[in-house]
Amino acid sequence: MKYGAARLGRVLVVRLEDGDVVHESIEAAARAEGIARAAVILLGGAAGGSRVVVGPEDAAARPVVPLQRVLHDVHETAGVGTIFPDEAGRPVLHLHAAFGRDDQVTAGCIRRGVTTWVIGEAVVIELTGTAATRRVDPASGFELLDV
């Protein structure tokens, strides 16, 4: 385990509108406000056709081949994530969410493209006093947090 301390900064309240791509919109708000590092809470609806990464095809395989699920219809959404800059300094959202419809639930990473259905609310809590950055790990190919 590796860790570092941070302090709380500003808080953004983001209303995502129907059709907004969640990760693109939250990253755009962070860039517009100069927020490079943050914790994120998400609540709302995901449109049918949204794509979610639900795990690796084979945990031992390299390179990692992600499994993807397409949401067949509108789903309720609740998620939590972080924003940290990549090696080029761009703020990148990493957010996992649960998507529910009727008695079925899918959970995974929203990076492949989750689209807002009517309502989306995000709270972005800025983290200051840390230099934590996402760096590419050669072994896995993932951008891992370097604290």
pLDDT digits (tens, 9 = 90+) for 92-115: 999 999 999 999 999 999 999 999
Q: Is the pTM of this model over 0.85?
A: yes
Alpha-carbon torsion angle 45, 51, 52, 53, nearest 10: -170
pLDDT at residue 141 above 90?
no
Q: What is the pLDDT of residues 55-102, one digit of tens each?
A: 999 999 888 899 999 999 999 999 999 999 999 999 999 999 999 999
- For residues 54 and 96, is the Cβ–Cβ distance under 8 A? no
